[in-house]
Amino acid sequence: MPNWCFTGITFYSEYEEQLRAMHDRFEEIRNGKSTVENDFGHGWMGDYANVFLPEYGHEKVDCRGSVTYIGDVEITFGNDLVFFKIETETAWDAKVGMWQKIVEKYYPDVKIAYVGEECGCGYFVKYDETGQFYGEEYYLDGCLPAKDKADGDYVYLSDEFDGCGTRLDLEEIQEHLDLVTDLEYKHANTYQELSKNIDDALSVIDDEELYFSVDEYAIVPPADFDFLI
């Protein structure tokens, strides 16, 4: 049984007609009859491999997973790009290679931005050359002793940082932590140091509920993913 990687992918372009054609075809595949029997049902990524890359098919393409969401076509705030987003759950890693191959072959004016997270193995990757879609720099998770006990004994970082991905830099992260937790820890200049310092501070507290983790998103261009198994 694999660990599942949750990936948000944005397809964007200056050319609305091409992007809408791509969006509509993606929805047809997700909502239509599967190309072969599979355990994933609607949204199986193998269907996309079989339709767009039949010369390889699902047996050769790295496509173990499913498309769980397809959003509507939208326009960026600057009105310079049209885009739509999908979400996938895939085995172990982000599996962006298949989407990159589809874009190169059928939709050459479309580009990809994405963010992928698999917490079990500490796998956090992203790519967004526009800076408009995925500005996350660090992935934070944890339960720390709360400074204000009126709302309970603990503060959960997923609540404090509106999910676990944050655009804040390390200094801003530590400033915010100081506001919400009474944990005494040493400030740090790297995320590795910060993780160690907070782990050291937690180690002297007898409370199994407490934990902390911080990771930096690695920048991995879509073209760097292999699309074949």
Write the pLDDT tens digit of every residue in 36-83. Answer: 999 999 999 999 999 999 999 999 999 999 999 999 999 987 878 999
Strands (DSSP E) along 30-81, which ranges?
A: 65-70, 74-75
> Which domains, and CATH codes, for the chain?
4-134 (3.30.70), 138-216 (no CATH)
Q: Which residues share a beta bridge with 91?
A: 4
Q: What are phi and psi of 178, to 5 degrees?
A: -65, -25
pLDDT tens per residue, range 197-221:
999 999 999 999 999 999 999 999 9
Residue 163 scores a pLDDT above 80 = no
**Torsion on CA atoms 63, 66, 71, 72, rounded to nearest 10:** 60
Residue type, 34: S
What is the predicted pLDDT for the residue at 100? 98
